[in-house]
Amino acid sequence: MSDGAFILAVFFFFFAAWLASGGPTKPISFAGPYITPITSVGTIQTGYGSTGGTSGGGTSISAARSTLSNIQNSLGGLNKQVQDAKLFGTPSPYKGDVTISWGNSLGASDPKQEYITIRAASNAPQNLNITGWKLVAVSNDHVATIPQGQEIYSPSSTATAPIILHPNDTAIINSGVSPVYESFKENECMGYYTKNDQFNPGLSQTCPSPINDFNAHYTGNVFKDGGCQQLIQNTYSCNIPDTNSVSSDCNIFIENYLNYPSCIVNHQADEQFSGNEWRIYLNRDVIKVHNTDTRYYGPLWQQSHDAIKLEDQSGLTVDLYEY
């Protein structure tokens, strides 16, 4: 709490104590001045101020009570602001640039079901490095650090780099282990992975159109190989068709275009290739002990009534999420 806020709180405390002891409801508070003017000898002195009945006093008491109620409400609001400021801590220079927008299944027994979402504002700085930022549970001081990731996921590489957010980017931060063993940014080819791996929430099922790739890149004779064209025509986006009983030219096309690695090679230059959503994994897992699932780390967050801080690399608070 700042010195100014502390002094203001002390002032209001004593003011409230004066009000609680009677304050403006005491008769002297609404009786008006009662002093006597200088008069000549033999003249009866009469005090200044009203000497009327009780109606004016009653009105003054009602007004004083209303004022007292308003001040008490203001004190409650001030106390809430002071407590919120104390809970938030020292603001980061990135406060407002990145916010925690929502969470799901917080405190879940399965870490793969637990995640929160952060979002970069439309006016956030470009190339905002969030690797090394921390998520802190206020209830138990558990800390999770945002790792590095792969902007374009590669199944044949373990190389990672800092996770960079751009304006309007979103990051879903999952407590569990990545189904592909890395944190990554979604792209228009990632849908090929959803058939074999479990993502929470699910990945987009939108991939480049198989028939468009066929029409643009098939090198066989489409008139002699109409069965291949029909097979590709009936293949849904992000699916790999069965290569049994197809021609060699058809099989080559499927291998070169309708899977994740070849999709990356052929579509990385597409304007719509890169998405605006990161999938970040904290790699907290369930291990098996004597054939029984046993969590070795304890939950990051409580299921209810907790607060999660997002802190930058310097430990300053970027945002606070209460639930």
Q: Please determine, for residue 64, whether its predicted confidence score (pLDDT) is greater than 80.
A: no
Distance, CA of 180 to CA of 190 (rounded, Å): 11
Residue located via tokens 């106390």: 79
Q: Which of 52-61, 126-135, 196-205, 236-245 has the lowest mean pLDDT?
A: 52-61
71 contact partners, CB below 8 Å, separation of at least 6: 12, 15, 16, 19
Q: What average pLDDT score do residues 85-104 get?
A: 92
pLDDT at 38: 55
pLDDT at 243: 83
Q: Please determine, for residue 8, whether its predicted confidence score (pLDDT) is greater than 60.
A: no
pTM of the full predicted structure? 0.71
Residue type for 75, please? L
201 upstream amide cis, omega within 30 of 0: yes
pLDDT at 41: 59
Q: What average pLDDT score do residues 266-279 get?
A: 95
Q: Please determine, for residue 32, whether its predicted confidence score (pLDDT) is greater than 80.
A: no
